[in-house]
Amino acid sequence: MVSHMKTTIQIPDSLYKEMRKLAQREQRTMKAIVEESLRRTLSQRQRSSRFRLRRASFKGNGLQPHLAGTSWDQILHLSYEGRGA
C-alpha cells in the first residue's frame, strides 16, 4: 500500500510558471511532474554518491623486496627522499 504525505513548498514564481506550462503541454498534473523530478534527482544523487576508487596503477614491479615489512611512514619518507621535502 502506498501512502502519501501532503506538504507545502515554496518555489520561485518563474519556476512555477514553467512547470504549469509543461504540465499543460504534456497533459499531466503538476504533482506528477514534481514527483518525477524528485525521484530522478534522488536516484541520480544515490548513484553519484557511491565512492569509486580510480585506477591508479602504474607500470612497475610492485613493492620492492627490500621494503617488505616496512611501515607506511617509512615508505612515505623514502618516496620524498631527495625531493626537498
Q: Is residue 26 part of a domain?
A: yes
- Residue 34 CA to residue 9 CA, distance in Å, equals 11
Q: Is residue 62 part of a domain?
A: no
Question: What is the grid cell recorded at 56?
Answer: 591508479
Total domains in the chain come to 1
pLDDT tens for 25-84 read 999 999 999 999 999 999 888 777 677 788 877 777 777 888 888 998 998 888 888 887
Q: Which residues of 41-68 are buried (b: 16+ CB within 10 A; e: fewer)?
A: eeeeeeeeeeeeeeeeeeeeeeeeeeee
Q: Is the pTM of this model over 0.75?
A: no
Helix (H, G, I), strand (E, B) or coil at 24: helix
For residue 39, what are the domain limits? Answer: 13-48
Answer yes or no: are the C-beta atoms of 29 and 23 closer than 8 Å. yes
How sure is the predictor about 10, in pLDDT bands with cuts at 50, 70 and 90? very high
Q: Is residue 38 part of a domain?
A: yes
